[in-house]
Amino acid sequence: MKSGSKTTRFGFLEQGSIGTAEPQHLQNFIKWYESGHLFSQEKKEKIDWSAKVKVVLKKCPEDKVRTIMKIRKAFRLETPAAQLLSAAENTPFVLTEKLTAIVAKKIIEQEQLQSWVEIRF
């Protein structure tokens, strides 16, 4: 967000782009904040939190063994640990499609797995 007393529009840039580029999408800050902090790339329609979703390993964790074991336990996955460790090298990888969105979201937040796991509708 550029500084100024009447500034209401803002955009996102990667850290290396600050000062050298302009955001591709500008948003109204007040509307963005009141809408639940949705980004322009996110779906803005109402989410059915009772729907089954894909829980996806989106990137390989730095501490792979420990994190994969934590993920396996948190989601009660039956997939062998060796298979999950192998899959972690080839992300994205669908971990499960058996959970509802609200359950998956709760697990991800409680276990602080946002860096490695995401929900896909």
For the stretch 57-98, pLDDT in tens is 999 888 999 999 999 999 999 999 999 999 999 899 999 999
Q: Is residue 1 part of a domain?
A: no
Please say if the pLDDT value at position 115 is more than 60.
yes
pLDDT at 43: 46
Which of 92, 66, 93, 96 shows the shortest CA–CA distance to 81? Answer: 66
Give residue 108's pLDDT: 95
- Give the tokens for residue 15: 């850290």
Residues 29 and 64 in one domain: no
Considering the domain architecture, whether residues 10 and 58 belong to the same structural domain is answered as no
> Pick the residue with more confidence: 52 or 17?
52
Domain interval for residue 91: 54-120
Same domain, 60 and 105: yes
Q: What percent of the chain has pLDDT over 70?
A: 63
DSSP class of 35: T
